[in-house]
Amino acid sequence: DGGITQSPKYLFRKEGQNVTLSCEQNLNHDAMYWYRQDPGQGLRLIYYSQIVNDFQKGDIAEGYSVSREKKESFPLTVTSAQKNPTAFYLCASSPRRSGYWTDTQYFGPGTRLTVL
Amino acid sequence: AQTVTQSQPEMSVQEAETVTLSCTYDTSESDYYLFWYKQPPSRQMILVIRQEAYKQQNATENRFSVNFQKAAKSFSLKISDSQLGDAAMYFCAYRIPNFGNEKLTFGTGTRLTIIP
């Protein structure tokens, strides 16, 4: 089945540690995104990538890093510089329409990160 | 900056009845997309319906329809014949079709409860 997978579903991190969240898609989508969701809030964009080997910062990129070495994969690293990393993290992807812009974003099941 | 406002933190409806969720947005753009996403207890974001601003006709997907009022910057979601499986958080979202500005801007969500 085509879709977006995220792993792990739950992740616990000690303060001062870096952790990497996985996001994989087999939809052949060009663009991929990482969002953060906090209680009582909508999603906020962390990073996005429109093509392989290229990515841009979103609204809340500080303390996070990404890579896009393959079209299918867009891992997110939460570094120790992120002051309040406990949140729910959602990965999304979207196909590219004719022209330059991308179409509807489809989401993975998410990863719940808790800092101990 | 674009903003999306959902003024109803919680709504409830009797099973089989109709409910309308409100969304307003602020933008100076003339061309944009609007979306309703559903987030059930599993927390995966599921696309419910999408509307392109240049289309005057309101989008419809089975029991879900929108009332898009471009001049009023309003984008409400109507759910007909409500079912227990419709219980979820509903998020309204906005984006512009602009290469290099890919993010979805989300509202804070409306929690919908279905009363059996």
In three-state form (DSSP H/G/I as H, E/B as E, the rest C), the secondary structure along B27-46 is CCCCCCEEEEEEECCCCCCE
pLDDT band at A97; cut points 50, 70, 90? low
Distance from C-alpha of B78 to C-alpha of B86, rounded to nearest angstrom: 12
pLDDT at A40 over 90: no
pLDDT for res A102: 60
**Splitting chain B (116 residues) into consecutive groups of 10 residues, what average pLDDT does each group show?**
90 97 92 93 92 90 96 97 97 80 85 97
Starting at the edge strand found earlier in the chain, the sheet holding A4-7 runs A4-7, A19-25, A76-78, A64-66
Give the minimum alpha-carbon distance from A80 to chain B in angstroms, rounded to a whole number: 25
Chain B 72-101, residues with CB within 8 Å of chain A CB atoms: 91, 93, 97-100
DSSP code string of A46-85: EEEEEETTEEEE-TT-TTEEE--SBTTB--EEE-TT-S--
pLDDT for res A18: 93
Question: Which residues on chain B are in Cβ contact (under 8 Å) with A44?
Answer: 106
Put simply, whether A46 touches B (Cβ < 8 Å) is no
pLDDT for res A33: 94
CA separation, residue B23 to residues A47, B1, B3, B8, B77 (Å)? 26, 17, 11, 9, 8
Tell me which residue in A31, A40, A90 faces B45 most closely, judged by beta carbons: A90
CA dihedral (B109, B60, A32, B73) positive or negative: negative
Per residue in A47-86, pLDDT (tens digit) is 999 889 999 999 999 999 999 999 999 999 999 888 889 9
Other beta carbons within 10 Å of A94: 23
Taking an 8 Å cut-off on Cβ atoms, the answer to whether B107 and A42 are in contact is yes
pLDDT for res B24: 97
Taking an 8 Å cut-off on Cβ atoms, the answer to whether A106 and B47 are in contact is yes
Q: What proportion of chain A, given as a percentage, has pLDDT over 90?
A: 70
pLDDT band at A99; cut points 50, 70, 90? low
Q: What proportion of chain A, given as a percentage, has pLDDT over 70?
A: 93
